[in-house]
Amino acid sequence: MAKATKKQALGRGLSALLNDPKNDIKSVSDKNADQVIGQIVELDINRIEVNPFQPRTQFNEETLRELASSIQELGVIQPITVRKTGFNKFQLVSGERRYRASKMIGLNTIPAYVRLANDQEMLEMALVENIQRQDLDPIEIALSYQRLIKDINLTQEQLSERVGKNRSTIANYLRLLKLDPIVQTGMRDGFISMGHGRALVNIEDPQIQLEVYEQILLDKLSVRETEELVRDFKSPKKIKSRRKQEIPEFIKDGVRDFSEYFGHKITVKVSKDKSGKITIPFHSKEDFNRILKLIKGAK
């Protein structure tokens, strides 16, 4: 109990230093910087802004509520990390789920590890920290690798050293970004695995890629079965026999728009008189409800 009380008092003391405008800490050489930078401080949650460099774009509401319930019962066990951006102003480096969950239950303060960093260091810290997470989908990881290479100007070899991954692993993730956006969405939503994606990326023709993707979903194909199917589709003779009826020019663009809107490859059958039928597939109750909301929202 004595240790816990001492830790709380220390946190309050550090917070007091941050609220002193005359001795605002702007660099590691400033007075009392060693007592704040690199320390865990109880910060006003409203003084913290979301990280604009956050590579993660999806936050599951159900798991956020579960985390919020845990925090309400046990408190924030692992502090978030922030950087100081101005007098009593901070920006998230990592821990956005903890931050969001804490705000969800109305916490006024949150324990935070304070750092100083410029924008490039901030982006790199956020990306590298994000990549180490276990709950990211393959596309999020690939996008993080891509940003590190483009925005931080790293080579794949340098990136390999920074994140502790083999160069071949990084290259495999980056190749996933060549997949059609619909296939990428399917991977992010968990309909297919990274193994399926790695097989599909070997098909350059987007239309054939989407045909194989749809067959994976309909037949619940394994990665090995997908690899065999891809080999079949890459054979010119089999491609010709598998190709479906040509779609008239006047609806080709519309079919593409339909597919991107609903997140699935839309099937169109056209008769000789140019009339036809549009089929929208779904793969679960949740997927059906998602499509239903899209249709209702378009009214």
| Virtual torsion, Cα 265, 177, 96, 54, nearest 10 deg | -130
**Under 8 Å between Cβ of 131 and 54:** no
Q: Is the pLDDT of residue 163 over 60?
A: yes
Q: Report the predicted TM-score, pTM, of the whole model to 2 decimal places.
A: 0.48
Q: In terms of residue numbers, what domain contains 89?
A: 2-118
Residue 195 lies in a domain: yes
* Count of other CB atoms within 10 angstroms of residue 37: 18
- Range ranked top by mean pLDDT from 60-64, 69-73, 145-149: 69-73
Which of 27 and 267 is assigned the larger pLDDT?
A: 267
Give the chain's domain count.
3
Residue 132 lies in a domain: no
Residue 123 lies in a domain: no
Q: Is the pLDDT of residue 271 over 90?
A: no
List the catalytic residue out of 96, 129, 225, 227.
Answer: 96
Least confident of 14-28, 129-143, 195-209: 14-28
- Same domain, yes or no, for 143 and 113? no
- Same domain, yes or no, for 20 and 62? yes
Distance set, CA 162 to CA 158, 173, 176 (Å): 6, 16, 21
- 96 as an active site residue: the answer is yes
Residue 296 lies in a domain: yes
- Same domain, yes or no, for 215 and 274? yes
Residue 273 lies in a domain: yes
- Same domain, yes or no, for 37 and 82? yes
Q: Is the pLDDT of residue 138 over 60?
A: yes
- Same domain, yes or no, for 100 and 148? no
Q: Is the pLDDT of residue 65 over 80?
A: yes
- Same domain, yes or no, for 196 and 172? no
The set of residues, in sequence order, having a beta carbon less than 8 Å from that of 27 and lying 6+ positions away, is: 33, 116
Confidence band, pLDDT 50/70/90 cuts, at residue 133:
low
For helices 181-188 and 206-219, angle between their N-to-C axes, nearest 10 degrees: 30
- Same domain, yes or no, for 111 and 26? yes
Q: What is the CATH number of the domain that holds 72?
A: 3.90.1530.10
